[in-house]
Amino acid sequence: MPEAKQTLSRREREVMDVLYRRGEATVAEVMDDLKDPPTYSAVRSILRVLTEKGHIVHRADGPRYVYAPAVGAERASKAALDHVVNTFFDGSAERALAALLTRSDLDLNEAQIVHLTKAIRKAGEEGR
């Protein structure tokens, strides 16, 4: 598999979002999930480009292709989060976490706060 390039167009990101949400999808299924989808040919072209960039893989299912992310959601989300922390917070997880906790739409219940507190303690005990 070729090394995945990081730069994606808006449409490419939308298609990747569909594939991560669904796990895998045909061209028609991708179109069903896109807001204001382009033509069938345009979606096929986007999928071809994403394949060439190494972001997705495909398999034949009868006369059609089924597309899926080349990298699992957990690995992709970790890479994206690492990129955000390094780019916008100078590599500081503390600054990134503090920024998340100051969001006005943040609504944590007591159980979530306890869970986060335990995760922070555990990371500290493990030297992270």
Q: For residue 58, what are the contacts with CB-CB under 8 A and spacing of at least 6? A: 47, 51, 65, 66, 67, 68
* Confidence band for 44, pLDDT divided at 50, 70 and 90: very high
The model's pTM: 0.67
Q: What is the DSSP letter of 92?
A: -
Average pLDDT of the chain to the nearest whole number? 90
| Strand, coil or helix: 20 | helix
Phi, psi of 58 (to 5 degrees): -140, 160
Q: pLDDT of 60-78, one tens digit each?
A: 999 999 999 998 888 888 8
Question: Given a cut of 60, is residue 105 above it in pLDDT?
Answer: yes
Residues 6+ apart with CB under 8 A from 66: 24, 25, 26, 58, 59, 60
10-69 placed in CATH 1.10.10.10: yes
